[in-house]
Amino acid sequence: MVDPVTLGFSIAAIIIFIGFAGDVIFRKTGIPPILFLLLVGVIIGPVFGFVPTSLITPLLPLFATLTLIMVLFYGGMTMRIRALLSNSGRTAAQVSIYVISSTVIIAYLLSYFLGWPLIEALIFGSIVGGETSGAVVVPLAMSMGFKESPKSFIMLESALNSVLTAVLFISFVTIYQIGTGININNAVNSLVSTFSTGIVVGLVVSLFWIFILHNLNRHRHIYVLTLGLLLITYSISEALGGSGIFSVLIFGVVLGNFKLFTIIFKKKVRILGVKERLFEFQGEMTFLLTTFFFVFLGLLFNISYSNLMYTLIFGGLTLLILLGARALAVNVSTYKSQLSKDKTSIFLMCAQGVTPLVLMSLAIVDGVQLASQFIPLVTFVIISTNLITIVGAVLRKRGIVRGSGVSSRLF
Partner 1 sequence: MVNGLPIMTADALSLNYFMIGVAAILITGFIGRALAKRTGITHILWLMVLGIIIIPVFGLFSRGTFLALMPDVASVVITIVLFNFGLGLNAHKLIKQISVSSLLLSANFIASVLLVFIVTHFIGYNYLDSALIGFAVGGTSAVILPFGSISRLVDEKTNILLNLEAMITEPLSVIFVLILIVVAALNTTNMELILTTIVGQFSTAIVLGALFGFAWVPLMAFMQHHKYEYSYVSSLAVVFILYIVTQDIGGSGPMAALIFGLLIANGEGLYHLLKYKHNKYFTLNRESRYFNDLISFITTSAFFVYFGGLVIPQDIYSLVVGVAIGLTIIIARQIGTWTSLARSSTPKVDKFFLSSMMTRGTGAAVSAALLVAYNVFNPSLITVFFSIILVTVFINGVMFARFNAIYKRLKQQEPPSGSQAQ
Task: Give the residues lining the site for partner 1 (CB under 8 A).
Answer: 81-82, 85, 185, 188-189, 192-193, 195-197, 199-201, 239-242, 260, 263-266
Minimum CB separation of residue 44 from partner 1 in Å reads 42
Q: How far is the CB of 316 from partner 1 (least distance, A)?
A: 39
CA atoms of 242 and 195, how far apart (whole Å)? 6
In 3D space, the residue among 188, 24, 151 whose CA is nearest the CA of residue 77 turns out to be 151
Q: Are 109 and 44 in contact (CB under 8 A)?
A: no
Q: What is the number of other CB atoms lying within 10 angstroms of the CB of residue 137?
A: 27
Query: Please, are residues 79 and 134 in contact by the beta-carbon 8 Å criterion?
Result: no
Smallest gap, in angstroms, from Cβ of residue 195 to partner 1? 7
DSSP 114-140: H---HHHHHHHHHHHSS---HHHHHHH
Q: Toward partner 1, which CB reaches closer, 242 or 356?
A: 242
Minimum gap (Å) between residue 194 Cβ and partner 1? 8
Nearer residue to partner 1 within complex by CB, 242 or 298: 242
Residue 189 C-beta: closest distance to partner 1, Å: 4
Given the complex with partner 1, which of 85 and 312 has the nearer CB atom? 85
Q: How far is the CB of 90 from partner 1 (least distance, A)?
A: 14
CB 164 within 8 A of CB 191: yes
Please identify, using beta-carbon distances, which residue of 143 and 193 lies nearer to partner 1: 193
Q: Which is nearer to partner 1, 27 or 267 (CB)?
A: 267
- Nearest Cα to Cα of residue 166 among 220, 127, 205, 202: 127
Q: Which residues have C-beta within 8 Å of that of residue 288, sequence separation ≥ 6?
A: 16, 19
Query: Is 152 or 197 the residue whose CB approaches partner 1 more closely?
Result: 197
C-alpha dihedral over 115, 119, 121, 123, to 10 degrees?
A: -160
